[in-house]
């Protein structure tokens, strides 16, 4: 059972319930993956965002979600542990090839690439995404490429540039319900979220490509179930294929507090609600994150 130990000005500080406790299992494979990524000077959202599944993904599946465009984000969302500020350098021109090398040496059949926001760049980093896709496909042509993109400052041309590279899956996270956007998402706009997914759907329809579209929600920031169901309806209105839902866990006490914990049964209920609305796949559980079991989310 959940044991709330403190309620104060900063919100709720909570001891994690049993279903959220993760066993640290530092295997030889985990060490091998970390050594490889460090040697190629690559960042991962697994480490920077403190993902609870890192021991499983790195140690068991030899997978990692690589984070390009540096490690400093120009946004400052209240739930995110990635460093924020103004990057002092341009993206590393060797990074796309280094990512491709890591994918090749890990023997991945499905690679997930994400990034920080780079509002300081004229193209918001979109060309760097394209170069990374192209590098992976040159070195590992059989590997599916999934992108978890930033909003590119709401610039349709930057998004179009990435879509033209035809990733197998195009993901952009909704993160939370509209009512909480202003408080939680730095510069994020709910309408823009739907527009990004709508543009991706229009692109695949126009060009006849099988690219999947995907988004994710964090549960426990203060939303209601009714608000979540309304977001599901909005996402289906733009033909979003895949929805992930997981428990929000504040990285530090300086971040947005946890409003409440959802039980495994509640996550199952939300999964059923999503499938009933027509999502092709719903990954819903306490420890689910955007790229968790991502290889299962590729369109046939």
CATH number, domain containing residue 263? 3.20.20.70
Average pLDDT of the chain is: 86
Residues 6 or more apart whose CB falls under 8 angstroms from that of 229 comprise 273
Express as a percent the part of the chain with pLDDT over 90.
65
223 in a structural domain: yes
- State the helix-helix crossing angle for 28-39 and 95-106, rounded to 10 degrees: 160
Whether 1 is in a domain gets the answer no
Contact between 229 and 235 (Cβ < 8 Å): no
Structural domain count, the chain: 1
Q: In this structure, are strands 212-219 and 11-15 parallel, antiparallel, or unpaired?
A: unpaired
Euclidean distance between CA atoms 225 and 244, whole angstroms: 15
Task: List the single range of 19-28, 42-51, 71-80, 122-131 with lowest mean pLDDT.
Answer: 42-51
pLDDT of res. 251: 85
Classify residue 76: in a domain, yes or no. yes
Residue 224 falls inside a structural domain: yes
Rounded Cα gap, residues 212 and 69, in angstroms: 23
84 closest CA partner among 113, 114, 52, 117: 117
Give the residue numbers spanning the domain of 214: 16-297
Determine, yes or no, domain membership for 202.
yes
Distance of CA 34 to the CA centre of its chain: 20
pTM for the predicted model, two decimal places: 0.85
Structure confidence by residue, pLDDT tens digits, 1-43: 333 333 334 444 557 788 776 665 555 555 666 776 677 777 7
Instruction: Please report the pLDDT score of residue 1 as a whole number.
Output: 34
Q: How many CA atoms lie within 13 A of 148 on its CB side?
A: 27
pLDDT of residue 92: 95
């Amino acid at each position: 059972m959940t044991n709330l130990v403190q309620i104060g000005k900063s919100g709720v500080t909570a001891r994690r319930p049993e279903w959220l406790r993760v066993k640290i299992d530092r295997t030889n494979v985990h060490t091998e993956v970390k050594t490889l990524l460090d040697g190629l000077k690559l960042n991962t959202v697994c480490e920077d965002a403190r993902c609870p599944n890192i021991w499983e993904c790195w140690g068991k599946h030899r997978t990692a979600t690589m984070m390009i465009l540096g490690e400093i984000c120009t946004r400052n969302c209240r739930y995110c542990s990635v460093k924020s500020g103004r990057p002092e350098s341009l993206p590393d021109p060797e990074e796309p090839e280094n990512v491709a090398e890591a994918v090749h040496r890990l023997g991945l059949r499905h690679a997930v690439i994400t990034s920080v926001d780079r509002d300081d760049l004229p193209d918001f980093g979109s060309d760097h995404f394209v170069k990374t896709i192209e590098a992976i496909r040159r070195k590992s042509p059989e590997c599916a490429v999934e992108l978890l993109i930033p909003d590119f400052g709401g610039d349709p041309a930057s998004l179009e540039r990435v879509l033209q590279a035809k990733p197998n899956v195009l993901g952009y996270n909704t993160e939370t319900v509209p009512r909480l956007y202003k408080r939680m998402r730095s510069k994020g706009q709910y309408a823009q979220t739907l527009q990004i997914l709508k543009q991706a759907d229009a692109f695949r329809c126009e060009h006849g490509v099988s690219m999947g579209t995907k988004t994710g929600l964090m549960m426990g920031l203060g939303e209601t179930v009714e608000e979540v169901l309304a977001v599901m309806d909005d996402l289906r209105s733009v033909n979003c294929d895949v929805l992930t839902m997981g428990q929000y866990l504040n990285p530090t006490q300086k971040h947005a507090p946890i409003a409440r914990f959802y039980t495994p049964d509640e996550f199952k209920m939300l999964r059923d609600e999503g499938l009933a609305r027509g999502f092709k796949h719903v990954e819903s559980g306490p420890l689910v994150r955007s790229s968790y079991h991502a290889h299962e989310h590729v369109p046939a």
